[in-house]
Amino acid sequence: MLTSRRASGFTLVELLVVIAIIGVLVGLLLPAVQAAREAARRMSCSNNFKQIGLAIHNYHSAYKMLPIHGSGTEGGRGGIPWEIYSDTVHSSNRRLSFLVGLLPFIEQQGLWDQVSNPLWGRSDNYPSGVGIDYPWNPMGCTPQNDGYRPWVSEIPTFRCPSDPGVGLPASGRTNYAACLGDSSYYGDRGSIYVDNDALGSEVSTPVPVPYIQVSSRASAARAKNRGFFQPHDQCRFRDILDGLSNTIAAGEIATDLGDRDIRTMGYDNTSNSAIRNNPSFCVDSADDTIDPDRPGFWHPNATVFATTEDSTFGRGFRWAEYHNYFTGMYTILPPNSEVCTTNWRETGTNPPSSRHQGGCHVLMGDGSVTFISDSIESGDRRARMVSLSGTGAAAPGAPSPYGLWGSLGTRGGRETIGESL
């Protein structure tokens, strides 16, 4: 009796159908997987911010004040202390950010011990001799020095996992910045002052110490420095008259990737008064500022820091530097708006930004973290900033002209927040 045998297996058509089905399923699932990964990174970013908020509260509990934004040792040689051209070796020149003081409270005691004590060693060959022939002084040097190892350390708590920026030309990067209020007019200045006339032309002449407070500087600072942190000056929770839960303590910032992103590289072609009078000056002043074909980037002809200053002047490039371009943010323009600034240290919009979709995280004074949408009500983006010389809506003590967003950035405006964030 004859029996026919047929070989088992897939035909070519069946195999192609199976491959096509798998391809369709992968195409459907991949966006969901990417979204899940970003959600996890966003959650991790929020947790880092919460750790910073807890550190701020623990610091205040220990010292009865907030960490000073613009702290450090005094006694540079030549130039205004908080300028980059002043002493680079012997003193930190009151240029350390609030993040430096938080190191012991975010489980970075080892790094804090290096900063707060004389330190031998260096990360490169500049400046000559320091770190080898004799140690760095306690509290280090000015933060642009890559030779001082602590300033080039990458601290995981200060980084958002969604931000891909890493390595040179930055020093140690940060994605979290102090909220300095809704007015950035000469935002680097507090009440301290150095008599530059006493120095003469000799850069080796020691700057007189201690730095003194001057009435005119203090008056200007009180009028314009309306945020949770105030450069160079002591702040306490009791100073937050609007309530900790209604005041932004810090905001998220994206670090620069060298791609002329309007959020991470500053437009540098204007004056302090121009930005004070119109925070949208960089958009209104010329046709070749923001690229019309790529609205998230500066026009190829735009004058940005990468062309006028140095490629190391990127947003978030120095976690130890107090200047608002590196570790500060303002509630003037809404999140993810353009960085319009005079230079890396004075007047600038410097809004918060992030690599998340549609907004960014902010840390409230009570330690809670909130995600703020780009579309938050932000008033008139062309309104003059409040300053000592302002009148009418720009007079000292006037309500923020930047709507709900501006109100959240001020500590004593007595605004009523009538909606849930």
pLDDT of 49 reads 92
pLDDT tens string 329-353: 999 999 999 888 887 778 888 999 9
Give the global pTM: 0.84
Q: What is the pLDDT of residues 69-128, one digit of tens each?
A: 988 888 765 555 555 445 567 788 888 999 999 999 998 999 999 999 888 877 765 555
d(CA 414, CA 39) in angstroms, rounded, equals 35
Per-residue pLDDT band for 61 (boundaries 50, 70, 90) equals: very high
Q: Confidence class of residue 287 from pLDDT cuts 50, 70 and 90? A: low
Question: For residue 34, is pLDDT > 60?
Answer: yes
52 φ, ψ (degrees, to nearest 5): -65, -40
Contacts of 226 (CB under 8 A, 6+ apart): 181, 182, 183, 386, 400, 409, 410, 411, 412, 413
Q: Which 8-state DSSP code applies to residue 242?
A: T
The pLDDT assigned to 200 comes to: 45
Task: Tell me the per-residue pLDDT of 204-233, one tens digit each, with 9 for 90 and over.
Answer: 556 667 777 778 888 888 888 898 999 888
Mean pLDDT of the chain: 82
Name the phi and psi angles at 14, rounded to 5: -65, -40
pLDDT at 414: 77
**Confidence at residue 343, expressed as pLDDT on a 0 to 100 scale:** 74
Split at pLDDT 50, 70, 90, the class of 148 is confident
Amino acid 421: pLDDT: 62
User: Which two structure tokens, joined as six digits, stand for 188?
Assistant: 């680097």
In this prediction, residue 357 has a pLDDT band, given cuts at 50, 70 and 90, of: confident
Q: CB of 326 within 8 A of CB of 272? A: no
Q: What separation in angstroms does the CA of 387 have from each of 96, 221, 222, 384?
A: 25, 9, 9, 9
Kindly tell me if the per-residue pLDDT of 143 is higher than 80: yes
